[in-house]
Amino acid sequence: MTDSSNGSTSALQSTTNARTVETFLFALQDEDFDTADSLMADHIAWQNVGFPTIRGRERITKLFRSGQGRMRFEVKVHRVAAEGDTVLTERTDVLEFGPVRIQFWVCGVFELHAGRITLWRDYFDTLNFLKATVRGLLAVPFPALRPTL
């Protein structure tokens, strides 16, 4: 027999966690690093699969702040799925460095505990990222190649 109150609590928690992740991503987009910082657990791990893991809320926030004014982040969330403490995102991320705009597809896995993000793991195709970088560089002299969301 299933306890329906646990199911509804779990569904509510899943929805809350999904909103937390979306709030986090949009805070990064808006350079609202105080909000982003408040949504990360102290011991968070940020993994871009295939690259070194960055550990710790303070370290990650410092990295975000160091790019302020030099780099811009934009996100378009296509899908969000959540079950319990795990949230999956399918999205397009944009990194802008001056006139160079790099736009690429990302699948993210987030784990949350006590309402804060403890794991942020992004998967993306490195070749696709490299092609996006080349396109971004070529779009500087040829603006018609500049990607848009």
Positions annotated as catalytic residues are: 93, 122
Q: 98: number of CA atoms within 13 Å, CB side?
A: 3
Enumerate residues 6+ apart whose C-beta is below 8 A from 54. Answer: 45, 46, 47, 60, 63
For 20, the 3-state DSSP assignment is: helix
Enumerate residues 6+ apart whose C-beta is below 8 A from 27. Answer: 33, 35, 36, 39
